[in-house]
Amino acid sequence: MIVRNTRQRSAVSALLAEVEGFHSAQDLHAMLRNRGERIGLTTVYRTLQGLADAGEIDVMRPPGGEHLYRRCSEGHHHHLVCRACGRTVEVAGPAVETWADRVAAQHGFTDVSHTLEIFGTCPTCAP
């Protein structure tokens, strides 16, 4: 299976490179259509899945049900998400990374990855 360079794949990558924050597949698809790209929803899903498998983007599964994708640039980090307004703050936790790896190793697990999300109510949304 040789990966080929196509206009659509580039478009998705380019879009992810310039937008901030998380976006759903449908979001990204709509944006691409708005800027005149001719690309199918199916292709957006496939491309995002590919990028996620390759570790080039982050995937988040919020309680809402939609998958959110985001360019995962500088290393590994986690997210602090506001329950009310959806605002996200990046947080880094080196201690958590090593802890997770160590715990997994203790149980003999290999190829370890992890997801961590913190939910709360942000200052501006507090009643």
Partner DNA sequence: GCGTTTTTGACAATCATTATCGTCTTCGCG
Partner DNA sequence: CGCGAAGACGATAATGATTGTCAAAAACGC
In the complex, the residues that contact its own copies under the rule CB under 8 A are 61, 63, 80, 82-83, 89, 91, 93, 95-96, 99-100, 103-104, 107-123, 126
Interface residue with DNA, options 15, 23, 47, 58 (CB under 7 A): 47
CB of 73 to DNA, least distance (A): 22
Q: Which residues contact 65 (CB under 8 A, 6 or more apart)?
A: none
Report strand pairing: 68-71 vs 57-60.
antiparallel
Q: Is 36 in the site for DNA (CB under 7 A)?
A: no
Are the C-beta atoms of 13 and 32 separated by less than 8 Å?
no
- Judged by beta carbon, residue 33 or residue 93, the one nearer its own copies is 93
Identify whether the C-beta of residue 58 lies closer than 8 Å to the C-beta of residue 70: yes
Q: What is the spatial distance between Cα 121 and Cα 124, in angstroms, rounded to a whole number?
A: 8
Distance CA 9, CA 75 (A): 23
Nearer to its own copies, 17 or 95 (CB): 95
- Candidate list 16, 22, 23, 25; residue touching DNA; CB under 7 A: 25
* Footprint on this chain of DNA (rule: CB under 7 A): 1-9, 24-26, 38-43, 45-47, 49, 65-67
